[in-house]
Amino acid sequence: MLIDCNSCTARPAACEDCVMTVLLGPIDGELELDDSETQALDALADGGLVPPLRMVPMLDPRHVERASARGPEHRHRPDGREEAG
Which has more confidence, 30 or 79? 30
13 band by pLDDT with thresholds 50, 70 and 90: confident
For the stretch 19-71, pLDDT in tens is 888 888 877 778 888 999 989 989 999 999 988 888 877 776 555 555 445 55
Across 51-63, b (16+ Cβ under 10 Å) vs e yields bebbbeeeeeeee
8 contacts 59 by C-beta, under 8 angstroms: no
The sign of the CA dihedral 31, 77, 63, 52 is: negative
36: helix, strand or coil: helix
**pTM > 0.85:** no
Could you give the number of structural domains in the chain? 1
The whole-number pLDDT of residue 20 equals: 84
39 contacts 65 by C-beta, under 8 angstroms: no
In the predicted structure, residue 83 carries a pLDDT above the cut 70: no
Host domain of residue 62: 2-84
